[in-house]
Structure 1
Amino acid sequence: MMRLKLLASAAVLTVFGLGQGPAHAAPGCFVGIAMYTLSAPYFAAQQKSAVAQAKSLGCQVTTTDGQDDMQKEISDVQDMIAKGINILILNPRDPEGLVPAANAATAAGVKVVAMDNSIDPAAKIVTLVQSSNQKNGELVGAWLAHKMAGKKMKIALLSGQQGSGAGLERREGVFRGLNEAQLAQNARVDWEVVGQGWGGWAQEGGLNAMEDLLTAHPDINVVLGENDSMVLGARNALKAANRLNGVLLVAAADGQKEALKLIQDGEYGATGLNDPALVATTAVNLAYKAWKGELPAGFPKVFDTTPVVITKANVAQYYKPDAVF
Structure 2
Amino acid sequence: MSRTIETTSRRGWLALALIAALPTSLATGLASPARSADGILVGLVTKTEVNPYFVSLRRAAEAEARARGVRLIARAGKFDGDNEGQVAAIETLISAGARGILITPNNSTGPLGAIAKARKAGIVVIALDTATDPADAVDATYATDNFQAGVKQGRYARHALGSKAPHLAMLDGTPGGTVDTFRHNGFLQGFGIKEGDPAVAGKQITNGAQDKGQTGMENLLSAHPDINVVYTINEPAAEGAYAALRAAGREHDVVLTSIDGGCLGVKYVKRGAIAATVMQFPAKMAKAGVDAVVDFAKGGSKPSGLHDTGSATITDHPFPGLDQHDTAWGLTKCWG
Output the TM-score relative to the length of structure 2. Answer: 0.80
Deviation at 1:124, TM superposition (A): 4.1
Do residues 65 (structure 1) and 71 (structure 2) align? Answer: no
Matches within 5 A, 1:80-159: 80-121=93-134, 123-159=136-172
Do residues 282 (structure 1) and 293 (structure 2) align? Answer: no
Deviation at 1:291, TM superposition (A): 2.4
- Return the alpha-carbon distance in structure 2 between the equivalents of residues 58 and 211 of structure 1: 49
- Of 235, 241, 244 in structure 1, the residue corresponding to residue 242 of structure 2 is 235
- Return the alpha-carbon distance in structure 2 between the equivalents of residues 217 and 28 of structure 1: 58
Indicate how the Cα distance of structure 1 residues 300 and 240 shifts in structure 2: closer, same or farther if over 3 A, else same: same
Task: Determine helix, strand or coil for the equivalent of 2:192.
Answer: helix
Aligned residue number for residue 217 of structure 2: 210
Deviation at 1:26, TM superposition (A): 6.5
1:214-251 per-residue CA deviation (whole Å, 9 max, x = no partner) reads: 11111111111011110111101111222212111101
Deviation at 1:274, TM superposition (A): 1.1
Aligned residue number for residue 51 of structure 1: 62
Matches within 5 A, 1:211-226: 211-226=218-233
Indicate how the Cα distance of structure 1 residues 161 and 92 shifts in structure 2: closer, same or farther if over 3 A, else same: same
Aligned residue number for residue 299 of structure 2: 293
Aligned residue number for residue 10 of structure 2: none
Paired amino acid for 1:179: G
- Return the alpha-carbon distance in structure 1 between the equivalents of residues 95 and 75 of structure 2: 14
CA contact (8 A) 1:29 1:60 kept: yes
Indicate how the Cα distance of structure 1 residues 122 and 318 shifts in structure 2: closer, same or farther if over 3 A, else same: closer
Do residues 165 (structure 1) and 178 (structure 2) align? Answer: yes
Deviation at 1:123, TM superposition (A): 4.4
Task: Determine helix, strand or coil for the equivalent of 1:153.
Answer: coil
CA contact (8 A) 2:238 2:274 kept: no
**Unaligned runs of at least 5 residues, structure 2:** 1-35, 319-324
Paired amino acid for 1:92: P
Do residues 245 (structure 1) and 249 (structure 2) align? Answer: no
Aligned residue number for residue 31 of structure 2: none
Aligned residue number for residue 18 of structure 2: none
Paired amino acid for 2:331: Y
- Return the alpha-carbon distance in structure 1 between the equivalents of residues 274 and 85 of structure 2: 36
Paired amino acid for 1:128: T
Deviation at 1:154, TM superposition (A): 0.8
Indicate how the Cα distance of structure 1 residues 266 and 66 shifts in structure 2: closer, same or farther if over 3 A, else same: closer
- Of 35, 40, 44 in structure 2, the residue corresponding to residue 33 of structure 1 is 44
Deviation at 1:311, TM superposition (A): 1.6
Deviation at 1:49, TM superposition (A): 1.2
- Return the alpha-carbon distance in structure 2 between the equivalents of residues 324 and 279 of structure 1: 10
What number of residue pairs does the alignment pair up?
A: 290
- Return the alpha-carbon distance in structure 2 between the equivalents of residues 178 and 191 of structure 1: 13
- Return the alpha-carbon distance in structure 1 between the equivalents of residues 147 and 335 of structure 2: 25
Deviation at 1:117, TM superposition (A): 1.2
Matches within 5 A, 1:182-197: 192-197=199-204
Task: Determine helix, strand or coil for the equivalent of 1:246.
Answer: coil
Of 303-312 and 259-268, more deviation after overlay is shown by 259-268
**Unaligned runs of at least 5 residues, structure 1:** 1-24, 183-189
Highest relative contact order (Cα 8 Å, sep 6+), 1 or 2?
Answer: 1
1:170-191 per-residue CA deviation (whole Å, 9 max, x = no partner) reads: 11111111218x9xxxxxxx87
Task: Determine helix, strand or coil for the equivalent of 1:50.
Answer: helix
Aligned residue number for residue 321 of structure 2: none
Indicate how the Cα distance of structure 1 residues 26 and 178 shifts in structure 2: closer, same or farther if over 3 A, else same: farther
1:275-299 per-residue CA deviation (whole Å, 9 max, x = no partner) reads: 2212211221222223233238xx6
CA contact (8 A) 1:271 1:310 kept: yes
